[in-house]
Amino acid sequence: MAKEIAKPATGKLGIMVVGLGAVSTTFMTGVMMARKGLAKPVGSMTQYDKIRIGKGENKKYLHYKDIVPMPTLDDLVFAAWDVFPANAYESAINAEVLKEKDIEPVKDELLKIKPLKAAFDKNYAKRLDGDNVKQCKDRWDMTEQIREDIRNFKKETGVDRVVVLWAASTEIYVEPDMKYHGTIAALEQAMKDNVVDKVAPSMCYAYAALMEECPFIMGAPNTTVDIPAMWELAEKTQMPIAGKDFKTGQTLVKSGFAPIIGTRMLGLNGWFSTNILGNRDGLVLDEPANFRTKEVSKLSTLESILVADDQPDLYSEYYHKVRINYYPPRNDNKEGWDNIDIFGWMGYPMQIKINFLCRDSILAAPLCLDLCLLIDLARRAGRCGTQRFLSFFLKSPMHDYTVDEVPVNHLFQQYVMLKNAIREMGGYEADEEID
């Protein structure tokens, strides 16, 4: 992977979002309100965080934009695909995340964002019933239509660069299969042969994005860019990819709290996590096949932080369970409960209870902004393939499982990776150890 100083952020940055629901409309509305000085982009690392560069008397703490060339919020231009025809203003109102007083000042801008027809297969999200969908002969045709959408967006808006971000629903689980997912050639053949149970619509979006020289971010737990065919394509096209699944509520807590248990050398008997959620995401996840995709993502966090092989006395036999329950009255206000059974000196048991009443889209919106700005930065620095430094923002970080690579899920180790990458892309030394 090339480690170069990032090129300047010239012109406009297009952000094409798959899904125009609660998360993406909250993201877009927040950016537009912040541009007008009517809201603050709270939660965004790229807008608020400072990183140390240099040591000793040369030490300085600088915002990201003062270390690396970054677009401003004024440079962002939005577009979206969605299975429902409602424009961004209507979707923002329907989502009931933001109050009308926080949407109305940018109504005119939101009205202009009319969703392109989505590349959709109902078998991958049985609970969704939209009619704003492409008619496709096969998966190859689906991919070609998405590519045309990207080309048209570039032509119509004159943007300099485009990032494609998946902020749509969780698809049913697709097990990686090297016969179809092992190489670019195998994946392309599967698309042409219309092997619909092996080629998810999200794979068509990712393939189209990379072929059109757009970095791609997977914000759901779908099997999409985490297959060897996509890694090969990202290298071939020299494009960065990132995924998967926005780290918003419960997993954010888990990746930050589990290190407390591990650092203090306390033992773990069990960690039970359950969620209630009422928005479109909750509806889709109420389908067992879709929940399976999310479960794989959420379960992966703990096992790489509290590792049995490293401390067999402490972590050899703990029980880890995750549940998600669809509860319509709660809408976007997700609630996560964690019951953690730990043990201490001489094996005596203790318990920790965490109740996180969060707002899913309010936590996800700044992640969307940061991921888009930082993957664009990576592209301008000549970085291609999986961007592990973006693991900080993601629930189930991409890794090369074909060689048994263990992903870094420890939040503070991920933060070191993020800071070192920013330093390098700004021409400074990566000077912190991940240990």
**46 Cβ neighbours under 8 A, 6+ residues apart:** 64, 65, 70, 369, 370, 373, 374
Region 13-246+361-425: CATH code: 3.40.50.720
Task: Tell me the two tokens of residue 318.
Answer: 């703990």
Sheet architecture: strand order including 335-343:
319-326, 267-277, 335-343, 349-357
pLDDT of amino acid 11: 97
In this structure, are residues 164 and 216 in contact, taking their beta carbons and an 8 Å threshold? yes
Within 13 Å, how many C-alpha atoms sit on residue 416's CB side?
11
pLDDT of amino acid 1: 43
Q: How many CB atoms lie within 10 A of CB 275?
A: 25
**Tally of residues, the chain:** 435
Eight-class DSSP state of 357: E
The full DSSP string for 226-261 is SSHHHHHHHHHHT-EEEES-B--SHHHHHHHHHHHH
pLDDT of amino acid 87: 98
Quickly tell me which residue has 């954010």 as its tokens. Answer: 252
Q: How far apart are CA 231 and CA 23, in angstroms?
A: 27
Q: What is the mean pLDDT of the chain?
A: 94
Chain region(s) in the chain for CATH 3.30.360.10: 250-357
In this structure, are residues 405 and 98 in contact, taking their beta carbons and an 8 Å threshold? no
> Which CATH architecture best describes the domain 250-357?
2-Layer Sandwich (3.30)
pLDDT of amino acid 297: 62
Residues in the chain with pLDDT < 70? Answer: 1-3, 293-294, 297-299
pTM for this one? 0.93
Chain region(s) in the chain for CATH 3.40.50.720: 13-246+361-425
Digit-coded pLDDT (tens) for 63-76: 999 999 999 999 99
Question: In this structure, what are the phi and psi dihedrals at residue 273, rounded to the nearest 5 degrees?
Answer: -120, 130
pLDDT of amino acid 249: 84
Q: How far apart are CA 260 and CA 246, in angstroms?
A: 22
Question: In this structure, what are the phi and psi dihedrals at residue 202, rounded to the nearest 5 degrees?
Answer: -60, -30
